[in-house]
Structure 1
Amino acid sequence: MARKKTDQKGDRLESIRDAHNAEKMARTTRMEDYLEVIYELIQHKGYATTVDISNYLNVSSPSVTKMLQRLSESGHVNYEKYRGITLTEAGVAVAKNMHDRHGVLAEFLMMIGVDEDTANRDAEGIEHHLHPETLKKLEEFVKLAKNQGLFR
């Protein structure tokens, strides 16, 4: 029995390492936050400005400019200083994916009794860290539970 515990701890440590290594290789959580905010601003206002992004993410304007330059270099946004910000096809895909992930997670959390504000706040943190297969299973569960009338 003690051997099994050691193996589980070792597996857990490997999982932590693998998750952190995968995160470093992929887009960062911060990049995804920027893309999601830009997407939401464009959906609601028709455009996004550095001032809007700065306000919603509670970061300085120079930080926004620096990230927009990174996102432009990575092919996620079209950004010219003082000209405006638009998402590229790749940027829209990432932002829409984050938007959809957030929706599934918030809906699940509300199904189990979490209030809407807390569900949205928690979903914002969780959405970046779930494996796509986990999210797919969670989405299937939400649909099944709704179809069976278990939750509203």
Structure 2
Amino acid sequence: MTDQTSQASDDLAPDSRAPEAQANGFATVREARRNELAEDYVELIADLIHQYGEARPVDIAERFGVRAPTVTKTLNRLAREGLITREKYRSVFLTEAGRTLAQECRRRHEIVLRFLIRLGLDPETAERDAEGIEHHVSEQTLALFESYANRP
């Protein structure tokens, strides 16, 4: 083993948390991943409705870079979860729960985006990175991000 490889191995300390705490951490991440798709969809639907007055499945597919069947499957899930209303071959609209979730996602996204830009990240990279971070950051961490982003 080279000195560099040995040093890298030494820097990787094992996770010293209790098994229950480790399991809780992984469960939190799995839940965030499960919710991430729904959050992205309601946020995009809200943006499309704001911009065009409606959100069509074809526009959703184009924006996400996926095929129509993928959008249909996800929209069916969102309808079952009470986040959207839709009829076959019609536009998609957010329910009150969907609007609330979209507003919360937008708030989180804006805080993370401002924080990353405040750190010095260029706006394009910050926008791309905020898209992932917003789903996984805790409220406690988000509050710290906001505090830092709002500093004079």
Instruction: Name the TM tier (shorter chain).
Output: 0.7 to 0.9
Q: State, as a whole percentage, how many aligned pairs show the same letter.
A: 39
Deviation at 1:104, TM superposition (A): 0.8
Q: Mark the structure with the bigger radius of gyration.
A: 2
- The list of structure 1 runs, each at least 4 consecutive aligned residues, that deviate by more than 6 angstroms after superposition, is none
1:59 equivalent among 45, 53, 66: 66
Alignment of 1:109-120 (within 5 A): 109-120=116-127
Q: What secondary structure is seen at the aligned counterpart in 1 of 2:51?
A: helix
Q: In 1, are the aligned partners of 2:56 and 2:92 still within 8 Å (CA)?
A: yes
Counterpart in 2 of 1:18? 24
Deviation at 1:13, TM superposition (A): 6.9
1:127 equivalent among 93, 111, 134: 134
Within 1, Cα distance between the matches of 2:101 and 2:25?
A: 19
Alignment of 1:1-152 (within 5 A): 9-11=15-17, 17-25=23-31, 28-143=35-150, 145=151, 149=152
Residue 68 and residue 13 in structure 1: after superposition, are their counterparts in 2 closer, same or farther (change >3 A)? same
Unmatched runs of 5 consecutive residues or more in structure 2: 1-12
Aligned length: 139
Deviation at 1:15, TM superposition (A): 5.3
Unmatched runs of 5 consecutive residues or more in structure 1: none
Within 2, Cα distance between the matches of 1:64 and 1:20?
A: 28
Within 1, Cα distance between the matches of 2:98 and 2:76?
A: 13
Within 2, Cα distance between the matches of 1:57 and 1:15?
A: 35
TM-score with structure 2 length normalisation?
A: 0.82
Give 1:17's aligned amino acid: A
Deviation at 1:137, TM superposition (A): 2.2
Within 2, Cα distance between the matches of 1:114 and 1:32?
A: 24
TM-score with structure 1 length normalisation?
A: 0.82
Residue 93 and residue 115 in structure 1: after superposition, are their counterparts in 2 closer, same or farther (change >3 A)? same
Q: What secondary structure is seen at the aligned counterpart in 2 of 1:78?
A: strand
